Amino acid sequence: MVTVCIIVANGSEDIEVVATSDVLSRGGIDVVIVGMEGSGNVKLAHKTVIVVEKSLADVKTTLYDALIIPGGMGGVKAMSANENVKEMLYNHQKNKKVIGAICAGPLVLSAFGVAAGSTLTSYPSVKDQLTSADYKYKEERVVVDRNLVTSRGPGTAVEFGLKLVEVLKGAEAVKGLAEQMLVKL
């Protein structure tokens, strides 16, 4: 079974965590929600409280089929300063696993030089920080560059999830899922 890890911290963006997780699960992908601060409850940016399944410290050497970084500036700032996040990103990049980042999430990649030189997208307000860090930028809703999948923000979270399903399971899997969810591709 395909397994995806979504790293969350207090202040991660609610819609990006929940919608991405939901779409991936509907697509038959096992989703593991990992908390930077340990297991238990995490309060997202807009006060949604979620239960974290595992601690980042406990899974930092685990390789998943994909590693996802949501936006939300509180979470992004915490992740950008965390050595365990850095280690996970480096391991996934080295092993050519899919890395996904949405909204301000690409700033975490930039903080550690992950996928440097790649083409990506993000929330508009962080574009300049990414282009000055030598990333190529497209103002598209979802961008795929090799094993990197990025998206703009809360309003593109479902599309981001669908693109991840496509990358991980193929075009037929995402077509059926989009029809089931009443989403136009």
With contact defined as beta carbons under 8 Å apart, do 149 and 121 qualify?
no
Question: Which residues make Cβ contacts (< 8 Å) with residue 137, sequence separation at least 6?
Answer: 119, 120, 121, 122, 127, 130, 131
Kind of pairing between the strands at 49-52 and 40-43: antiparallel
Tell me how far apart the alpha carbons of residues 82 and 120 are, in angstroms, rounded to a whole number.
Answer: 22
Q: In the annotation, is 5 catalytic?
A: no
Residue 119: both structure tokens together: 């083409």
Catalytic choice (103, 111, 114, 165): 103
CB atoms within 10 A of CB 47: 7
Tell me how far apart the alpha carbons of residues 17 and 33 are, in angstroms, rounded to a whole number.
Answer: 9
Catalytic residues: 103
